Structure formats: structure tokens, C-alpha cells
């Protein structure tokens, strides 16, 4: 025992208490901030629920099935049109962006193109996701809606332009995550399939897509979560019709996010609670979708 101590040179000394303390503090701080992230998520859920409570107590679950939005004399609120618009616009958007996004993912994960061209295209598709949504809204108002007016019965902001922009905005998520999933499929599977005489597309359809399916579905769910919560483009293009459901895609509709964007700044009293209640519904909706997506994508990483 004493041998090691005697033999140790001056440069190797036990760490001073101060140093050890500092080390512990640093680690503790890192852990604290990590826990803070989880705490923020809980705080969001808690705060929105508390703020929404007056409206929850007043309207209960009937809030979800009522089509009125009257801030004054006497106030009466229901979010059925917004729920309808949120779900339908997202579904329409996905109906467009899923096949296109998958096509892109396949085209850019197979070796159709030289790597350089492929990389540029991947970058361009990713750039679609980086453009702020308010700019898509701006473009939609001045270019897309006038264009659609020429070729459809559209008269102004409505479900159709909003869904189209949502499709553009969800496209890069689906393309990027599907591409990840596809390129994660082991090469041996493809070699085996081609070795048995399958063509490239038979291999893609029957081997690669099924093997990557959990990642692809996870990507689609994440895109759905994004579409459900997307605010600015929807607000600027959907027409913000709070009080009735119109089943035509050429008529104004509304989403929960647009409702919040439009009304919060001028809301007071019970209206704030009603908006918080609507926000809570959107939060729960996107939370479920996102958690499911996370679990699916995680399963993929275990392959």
C-alpha cells in the first residue's frame, strides 16, 4: 500500500475535495437540465389543463361535438368544426404526400442517380421543410389561391389550398424518414431477392418496403402530427369558418391551430379557457400521434 504512494511522482496526486465537488456539481447540473426537458413536457400538459379547467367544467365533453363559437352574450363554445377541419385537412394532405414522399424516398435511396445529384436532391427536399410556414401561407394567398380559382370552383381561402400546402410541408418529413428506413434495410435481403430472380421493383415492393414498414409508418405518423398542429399556412389559407361544417373542399373550414392563432390575442374570460380547452385537445391528439410514431421509429432502429 505504502509502496504505491511513495512511488507515485508529484504529478499524480489524489484529487482535491474542491475538484471533486466541482466535478459532481457539473454532472449534477447536466442531469438537472436533462430532467428539465421532461419536466417541461409535463408542465405544458399541466398548465394547459389547469387553464382550460373552467371551460372543461362548463362544457364537459360536449365541447367536442358542438358547432357554436360565440364569445359574447352569453358565451357558448364548441369545437366540432375545428376538429373536423384539423383531421380532414391533415388526411387530405397525407393522401397527397404519402405516395409522393415514398416515391421520392425510393428514388433517392436506390442507385438511379449519381451520388452528387442524389445529394443535391436530398438537400432540396430537406429545404422544403426549412422554409417558414408563414412564407408558404404568403405564397398560397398570392399564387396558389388565384391559380386554383382559375381551374376549380374555388372562391377564396378554403380547405383545398390549405390541404395542398400541408401536403408540401409534410412531404419532406415522409421522404426523409422513409429514406432512412429504406437505407436501413440490410443489403443481404436485397441480394437474396435479386439472386432469386426478382426484378428491382419486385424487390422493392415485396422485400424492402415490408422490411422498412415500421420506419415508414413512423415517418407518416410524424408527418401527421406535424399536419395536425401546423398553424400559419392553415390559418392563412383555410378561411377560418368557426361555426359550421362544410363538407366541400372548396369552402372555408377551420383547424384547432387556426382557431387559437386567430383568437388568443383578443380573448378574455371564458373564451381564454375555451381556447385552452381546444389547445388541450390538439395537444393530446398530437401527443398520441407522436408517441406512437416514436415507438414505431424506435422499433426500426432495433433491426
Partner 1 sequence: MTSEQSSFSFNPSRLKRDPKSPRTLLGLIMTAIAGLFTLLAVIPLGFVLYYILIKGFSSINLQSFTQLPPPPMVENQGGFGNALLGTMIMVGIATLISVPIGVMTAIYLSEFSAGSKVAEWVRFATNVLSGVPSIIIGVFAYGILVINPIPWFYRGYSAWAGGFALALLMLPTIIRATEEALKLVPREVRWASVGVGANDYQTVLQVVLPAAIPAIVTGVTLGVARAAGETAPLLFTALNTQFWPNWDEWLFEPTASLSVLVYNFATVPFENQNEIAFAAALVLVLFVLITNIVARVVTSRETY
Extended beta strands in the chain, E state: 69-70, 76-77
Q: How far is CA 175 from the centre of its chain?
A: 14
Residue 206 is a binding residue for partner 1 (CB under 8 A): no
**Candidates 2-10, 64-72, 119-127, 180-188 — which segment interacts with partner 1 by CB under 8 A?**
119-127
Q: What is the DSSP letter of 73?
A: S
Residue 270 is a binding residue for partner 1 (CB under 8 A): no
**Count of other CB atoms within 10 angstroms of residue 18:** 8
Integer Cα distance of 160 and 177 in angstroms: 26
Give the footprint of partner 1 on residues 125-154 (CB under 8 A): 125-128, 130-139, 141-143
Residue 77 is a binding residue for partner 1 (CB under 8 A): no
**Candidates 70-78, 176-184, 246-254, 286-294 — which segment interacts with partner 1 by CB under 8 A?**
286-294
**Candidates 178-186, 187-195, 208-216, 272-280 — which segment interacts with partner 1 by CB under 8 A?**
272-280
List 58, 76, 244, 294, residue binding partner 1 (CB under 8 A): 294
Complex with partner 1: residue 31 or 155, whichever CB lies closer: 31
Residue 279 is a binding residue for partner 1 (CB under 8 A): yes
Residue 81 is a binding residue for partner 1 (CB under 8 A): no
**Cα 74 to Cα 197, 271, 279, distances in angstroms:** 72, 11, 22
List 152, 199, 243, 301, residue binding partner 1 (CB under 8 A): 199
Integer Cα distance of 67 and 77 in angstroms: 8
Integer Cα distance of 254 and 242 in angstroms: 6
Amino acid at each position: 500500500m505504502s509502496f504505491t504512494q511513495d512511488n507515485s511522482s508529484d504529478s499524480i496526486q489524489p484529487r482535491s475535495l474542491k475538484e471533486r465537488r466541482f466535478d459532481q456539481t457539473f454532472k449534477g447540473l447536466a442531469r438537472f437540465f436533462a430532467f428539465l426537458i421532461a419536466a417541461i413536457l409535463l408542465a405544458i400538459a399541466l398548465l394547459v389543463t389547469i387553464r382550460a379547467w373552467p371551460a372543461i367544467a362548463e362544457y364537459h365533453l360536449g365541447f367536442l361535438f358542438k358547432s357554436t363559437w360565440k364569445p359574447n352574450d352569453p358565451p357558448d363554445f364548441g369545437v366540432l368544426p375545428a376538429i373536423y377541419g384539423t383531421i380532414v385537412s391533415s388526411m387530405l394532405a397525407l393522401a397527397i404526400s404519402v405516395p409522393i414522399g415514398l416515391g421520392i424516398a425510393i428514388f433517392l435511396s436506390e442507385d438511379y442517380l449519381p451520388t452528387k445529384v442524389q445529394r443535391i436532391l436530398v438537400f432540396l427536399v430537406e429545404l422544403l421543410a426549412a422554409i417558414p410556414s408563414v412564407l408558404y401561407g404568403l405564397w398560397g394567398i398570392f399564387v396558389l389561391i388565384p391559380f386554383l380559382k382559375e381551374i376549380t370552383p374555388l372562391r377564396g381561402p378554403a380547405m383545398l389550398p390549405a390541404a395542398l400546402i400541408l401536403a408540401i410541408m409534410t412531404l419532406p418529413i415522409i421522404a426523409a424518414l422513409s429514406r432512412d428506413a429504406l437505407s436501413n434495410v440490410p443489403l443481404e435481403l436485397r441480394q437474396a431477392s435479386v439472386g432469386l430472380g426478382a426484378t428491382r421493383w419486385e424487390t422493392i415492393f415485396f422485400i424492402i418496403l415490408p422490411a422498412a414498414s415500421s420506419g415508414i409508418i413512423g415517418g407518416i405518423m410524424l408527418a401527421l402530427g406535424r399536419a395536425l398542429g401546423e398553424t400559419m399556412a392553415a390559418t392563412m389559407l383555410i378561411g377560418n369558418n368557426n361555426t359550421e361544417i362544410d363538407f366541400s373542399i372548396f369552402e372555408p373550414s377551420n383547424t384547432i391551430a387556426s382557431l387559437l392563432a386567430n383568437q388568443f390575442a383578443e380573448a378574455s374570460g371564458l373564451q381564454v379557457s375555451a381556447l385552452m380547452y381546444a389547445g388541450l385537445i390538439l395537444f393530446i391528439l398530437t401527443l398520441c400521434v407522436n408517441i406512437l410514431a416514436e415507438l414505431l421509429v424506435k422499433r426500426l432502429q432495433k433491426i
